[in-house]
Amino acid sequence: MEKELEEYYNNFFETFRTKGWKQLIEEVDNNIEQLDNLEATKDEQDLFYRKGQLAVFNNLKNLEQLMIAAQEQAESEDNEDDAI
């Protein structure tokens, strides 16, 4: 893996280990829980707004897993290139 790409992933993983990241994810989980309740939805426009908010919060919540999968994919591609 290229040094720049390896540093990119390492920076994310360092962030994921911080207390601040864990606090952020707790807040994200709370927001997801609140937005997931449709009872307070006023109209169609509000529904789509909530849907967008949920998409952003879910992407943030899943960022660590996405980075792990991306790093594994990059390493796998490197191993395939080395085998050729």
16 closest CA partner among 66, 72, 57, 58: 66
Quote the CA–CA distance of 13 and 5 in Å, as a whole number.
Answer: 13
Tens-digit pLDDT profile for residues 23-65? 999 999 999 999 988 888 999 999 999 999 999 999 999 999 9
**Domain of 40?**
3-83
* pLDDT classification of 21: cutoffs 50, 70, 90: very high
For 1-84, where are the E strands, in sequence order? none
**Structural domain count of the chain:** 1
- What pLDDT does residue 6 have? 94
- What pLDDT does residue 60 have? 97
- What pLDDT does residue 28 have? 98
- What pLDDT does residue 84 have? 64
- What pLDDT does residue 38 have? 85
Q: H-helix or E-strand containing 76?
A: helix 63-83
